Amino acid sequence: EIVMTQSPATLSVSPGERATLSCRASQSVSSNLAWYQQKPGQAPRLLIYGASTRATGIPARFSGSGSGTEFTLTISSLQSEDFAVYYCQQYNNWPPWTFGQGTKLEIK
C-alpha cells in the first residue's frame, strides 16, 4: 500500500498571500496524483488531477506540480473561500487508492 504524507498538518497564511502545500508518496506514483479541497460540512471537491491539470471550473490561482514521490499544491493569492482542508490522493497503485491525511489551511 502506498502511504501518502502531507505537510504541514496546519498552515496559517494571510489572505492575498501564497500558500504551498506538500504531499509525499512512500514510493513513486509517477504523475498519478490528485488534489481535493474540503470545506466544513461539505464533500471533497476535485481540484487537480495528473499532478498538474486543473479540473473543470477550478480557478487559475490553484496549481499543482511534482512527480514521482514529491508533489506541491500552490494557491497563488489566497481568497477567503480557499481556507479549507486539502487532500492528495494517488492512483498509481491499487488497491487501495490512498489519500493523505490532509492539510488544514487557516487564516493567519
Partner 1 sequence: QLQLQESGPGLVKPSETLSLTCTVSGGSISSSSYYWGWIRQPPGKGLEWIGSIYYSGSTYYNPSLKSRVTISVDTSKNQFSLKLSSVTAADTAVYYCARHQKGYDRPGRWFDPWGQGTLVTVSS
> Within positions 62 to 81, which residues make up the interface with partner 1, using CB under 8 A?
none
Q: Does 55 bind partner 1 (CB under 8 A)?
A: yes
d(CA 52, CA 47): 10
**Which segments of the chain are extended strands (E)?**
4-7, 10-13, 19-25, 33-38, 45-49, 53-54, 62-67, 70-75, 85-90, 98-99, 103-107
Q: Segment contacting partner 1 (CB under 8 A): 17-25, 29-37, 61-69, 76-84? A: 29-37
CB nearer partner 1, residue 69 or residue 98: 98
Phi/psi for 88 (5° steps) reads -105, 155
Cell numbers at 62, concatenated: 490553484
Among 101, 106, 107, 108, binds partner 1 (CB under 8 A): 101
Among 25, 64, 100, 105, binds partner 1 (CB under 8 A): 100
CB of 96 to partner 1, least distance (A): 4
The secondary structure of 36-50 as a DSSP string is: EEE-TTS--EEEEET
Q: Does 98 bind partner 1 (CB under 8 A)?
A: yes
Q: Segment contacting partner 1 (CB under 8 A): 10-18, 19-27, 39-47, 75-83? A: 39-47
